[in-house]
Amino acid sequence: MMNLTQSKSKKQIPKGSLRSFLGKTAGELTRVLGEPFASYSYGDSEVFLYDSKPVTTVALRNGLIVKCNDVAESRRQLRVQPLQNIPVVSRGEACNRGVLKDISIGGAAVSFPSDAVFVMRESAVLSFSLPTEGSGRFLEIPCRVKDIRIVDGECVTVFLFDCTRAPREKATIARYISIRKIQDELAIDDSSLWVTRDDTGSFPVRVN
Which secondary-structure segment (H or E) carries 169?
Answer: helix 167-185
Domain that holds residue 143: 87-169
Looking at 26, 42, 74, the residue that finishes a domain is 74
State whether 94 and 159 are in the same domain.
yes
Q: What is the pTM of this model?
A: 0.66
Q: pLDDT tens digits for the chain (208 residues)?
A: 545 444 444 455 555 566 678 888 888 888 887 888 777 777 778 888 776 655 567 888 888 888 776 544 444 568 899 988 999 999 998 999 999 999 998 999 999 998 888 999 999 999 999 987 656 789 999 999 999 998 888 899 999 999 788 888 888 888 888 778 877 777 776 654 433 333 333 323 222 2
In-domain check, residue 192 = no
Residue 62 lies in a domain: yes
Q: Which of 47, 74, 101 is the last residue of a domain?
A: 74
Q: How far apart are CA 47 and CA 174, in angstroms?
A: 15
With 0-12 CB in 10 A as exposed, 13-18 as middle and 19+ as buried, what is 55?
buried
Chain-centre distance for alpha carbon 162: 17
